[in-house]
Amino acid sequence: MSDHQRYLERQAQILRGGGEKAIQKQHDKGKHTARERLALLFDAGTFQELDAYVRHRCPDFGMPQKVYDGDGVVGGYGKVHGRTVFAYAQDFTVMGGSMGEEQANKICRLMELAMDAGAPVVGMNDSGGARIQEGVNSLAGYGKIFRMNTRASGVIPQITAILGPCAGGAVYSPALTDFIFTVDDVSRMFITGPEVIKAVTREEVSAERLGGAATHSTISGNAHFRDATEENCIARIRQLLSFLPSHAAQAAPLMGMGETDGGLRPALEQLLPPDINKIYDMRQVIRELADDGEILESMAEYARNILTAFARVGGMPVGIIANQPQVQAGCLDVNASDKAARFVRFCDAFGIPLVTLVDVPGFLPGLQQEDAGIIRHGAKLLYAYSEAAVPKLTVILRKAYGGAYLAMCSKHLGADFVYAWDSAQIAVMGEDGAANILIREENDPQKRKDWKKEYRSSVLNPYRAAERGYVDDVILPQETRQKLLSALDVLRRKREDRPQKRHGNIPL
């Protein structure tokens, strides 16, 4: 056999993965192969594969007869919207994509390269987990990946798509990354599967309910995105990457300055219902403020009382955190605090300015919330905002009461600019709550009415806070985008010193 023939044969072998039958089985399950997934991720023709020849070295259980080039993972780098991205996809057609020592080494090398090159890593998981035949060497591989994920955290964006099984300790690599994507009927992510659960707790649960996309997007909060198809999922990964810098030291990518109308948004004038206790959809506000109305919501189906979304304002990517009055009146609870705090941390780590839209009646009261640790979880949000050194812009639309006013990036937590709509009410609490505490004369409804009227006119407004400098400007709703455009421009070079320390101790 000539050198060239041998080369061609090895190439063909690499592309075959686990073979025709295994590929067919993968397709029959409605899943793409590793290579097809990478082709969907990268700009056409840009993928450069690395370590395609790597093979396992396991001498046990007949493994020397089961050797595949690539060892069950396809990895390399390429371009996404013209920018370098590293990616790997586990190849389920090769021994169920199971993780052996060499597969782990490949993934770690790829991550090291990505850190050196200053480029994001996208991992696509589809694996039966630790390769049983390789025993502790496989576990060691996972351990090394966890450490690499942690080292890379805050250095380069890390994104994971769960495109098949991801069970046992294997779930912790995705969980250590910044964003997890899932697909209906494809993702299966759990610590122990249905059979083990049945044996241990006697609970009967389907794999979809236990670890499917809907479960992780709506109940557990482990996933940030859910799509109906792999194509949509990978397209959304590409969209997310368009908002992110390649690494923490780089500015987020500016895209199309697109401001032709002076930035006034008259539609915002009509948005608030006349009754303070009526709801509206905060998403509409975000869309009005965003360039071309384009937003990418993270964790859209979890803790829906708060919204976290990427958008561009004047071409600049921003992270928007907004109370959603439509759900639980926009109160902050345990899950909303966790969701928002992690989003703030991500944006701060990667230099993405924060825009906070406030309409919050308070922290959600109740024994359930107190028992669940609202004190500890709420503290995460306070901590994340206080420590964030990126530009921080806050707009108070309506209610901003009590501790939740403070927690939603108030001036006191370091907001650079706080704007309040003329409809804002910044106070310890609303009129009914205040009257319940201060006016005991239940038999004197007139006194209570007069007191509430006085409270409304003298306290429930934005001017008291503005008089103290806690609000920089009282604005009309339609001016909001203009103000943000100007503030983002002014703060472009913001630098904020932090005290020297090893690291802080966020209330985890």
Span near ligand HXC by CB under 6 A; candidates 125-133, 273-281, 373-381, 409-417: 125-133
Q: Are 120 and 346 in contact (CB under 8 A)?
A: no
- Please, what is the minimum distance in Å from the beta carbon of residue 10 to ligand HXC? 22
- Please, what is the minimum distance in Å from the beta carbon of residue 334 to ligand HXC? 28
Is residue 130 close enough to count as binding ligand HXC by CB under 6 A?
A: yes
Is residue 211 close enough to count as binding ligand HXC by CB under 6 A?
A: no
The residue from 35, 37, 131, 399 that contacts ligand HXC (CB under 6 A) is 131
- From the list 154, 403, 414, 433, the catalytic residue is 403
User: Per-residue x/- mask for ligand HXC, residues 286 to 315, rule CB under 6 A?
Assistant: ------------------------------
The pairing of strands 179-183 and 121-125 is: unpaired
The residue from 95, 148, 163, 290 that contacts ligand HXC (CB under 6 A) is 95
For residues 207-242, one letter each, b for 16 or more C-beta atoms within 10 angstroms of the residue's C-beta and e for the rest, the string is bbebbbbbbbbbeebbbbbbbeebeebbebbbebbb
The residue from 47, 77, 142, 383 that contacts ligand HXC (CB under 6 A) is 142
Span near ligand HXC by CB under 6 A; candidates 126-134, 279-287, 364-372, 461-469: 126-134
471-490: which residues touch ligand HXC (CB under 6 A)?
none
Q: Which segments of 157-292 does DSSP mark as H helices, in order?
A: 172-176, 194-201, 207-211, 213-214, 230-243, 282-289
Q: Are 431 and 453 in contact (CB under 8 A)?
A: no
Q: Quick one: the chain helix, strand, coil %, rounded to 5?
A: 45, 20, 40
Whether 168 is catalytic is yes
- Identity of the amino acid at 249: A
Is residue 170 close enough to count as binding ligand HXC by CB under 6 A?
A: yes
Whether 117 is catalytic is no
Whether 293 is catalytic is no
* 319 three-class SS: strand
Q: What is the DSSP string of 34-61?
A: HHHHHHHHSPTT--EEESTT------ST
The residue from 72, 129, 212, 317 that contacts ligand HXC (CB under 6 A) is 129
* 159 three-class SS: strand
- From the list 404, 424, 434, 465, the catalytic residue is 404
**What is the C-alpha to C-alpha distance for residues 44 and 106, in angstroms, rounded to an integer?**
24
**What is the C-alpha to C-alpha distance for residues 326 and 348, in angstroms, rounded to an integer?**
27
The residue from 72, 76, 78, 128 that contacts ligand HXC (CB under 6 A) is 128
Is residue 169 close enough to count as binding ligand HXC by CB under 6 A?
A: yes
The residue from 135, 154, 168, 507 that contacts ligand HXC (CB under 6 A) is 168
Q: Which residues bind ligand HXC (CB under 6 A)?
A: 95-96, 98, 128-132, 139, 142, 165, 167-170
Hey, which residues are catalytic here?
Answer: 168-169, 403-404
